[in-house]
Chains A and B, each alone.
Chain A
Amino acid sequence: DTGVSQNPRHKITKRGQNVTFRCDPISEHNRLYWYRQTLGQGPEFLTYFQNEAQLEKSRLLSDRFSAERPKGSFSTLEIQRTEQGDSAMYLCASSLVSGLANEKLFFGSGTQLSVL
């Protein structure tokens, strides 16, 4: 499978615990995005990387959230001291940006987080 891969698919945790999700983008894609999606809503942008550089962060990304893409390939998203309001689907997407062409985002299947 050469698509975007996310692990784990599901995560159940207790309030106050830390969780970490992993995303493996499509190889050779230089951009990687994290989105969050709650039931009945469209995905909301959290942050994105171009190669290893984190270029933009949403106001939705509180201090408890941190994302990394150390080698410009896979990325991790960590949530510290989880709260019930963090329960959502966390989606990763990647794209190949070249020139002026509109980029197309390819999404993974997401990690469903439930905070009890």
Chain B
Amino acid sequence: GESVGLHLPTLSVQEGDNSIINCAYSNSASDYFIWYKQESGKGPQFIIDIRSNMDKRQGQRVTVLLNKTVKHLSLQIAATQPGDSAVYFCAEPTFSGYSTLTFGKGTMLLVSP
């Protein structure tokens, strides 16, 4: 079936390093992807999204890269800060109507000072 998944369950980095969180998807027809950040005790928070007609999109300290050939997307966080410590999920619409989201399993990012 269609699924969104992550390669690494935990990523530990030092403050100031750049972080890269990866996500693989299986539905080649998917045309929209979203990254969410979830801090402990809170709900997921929208970070950045990308449509399939783009390969790259940049936000504030974050960049999402989409490789449709290998069905892979990544979230890059520049100059990682302790406040970036959280679980990061990639998600895609479950159906073409975008009425629901399917989330991947998540990657825990741990930032050491």
Contact = CB atoms under 8 A, between A and B. Distances in A.
Contacts, number: 52
Contacts of A113: none
Interface residues of B, number: 23
B44 A107 contact: yes
Given A41-B105, A42-B104, A45-B100, A104 B45 contact: no
* A-B pairs, 4 with minimum CB distance: A42-B103, A107-B43, A45-B100, A107-B44
Interface of A: 4, 33, 40-45, 48, 55-56, 58, 91, 93, 102-110
Interface in B82-106: 89, 91, 94, 98-106
A40 B46 contact: no
Given A102-B32, A102-B49, A4 B43 contact: yes
Interface of A is mostly: loop
Contacts of A40: 105-106
Given A45-B100, A108-B43, A109-B41, A102 B51 contact: yes
19 contacts: A41-B106, A42-B89, A42-B105, A43-B44, A43-B89, A44-B103, A48-B99, A48-B100, A56-B99, A58-B100, A91-B43, A103-B98, A104-B34, A105-B44, A105-B46, A106-B46, A109-B42, A109-B43, A110-B42
A105 B101 contact: yes
Interface in B31-47: 32, 34, 36, 41-46
A41 to B, nearest CB: 6
A102 B51 CA distance: 9
Contacts of A110: 42-43
Contacts of A106: 46
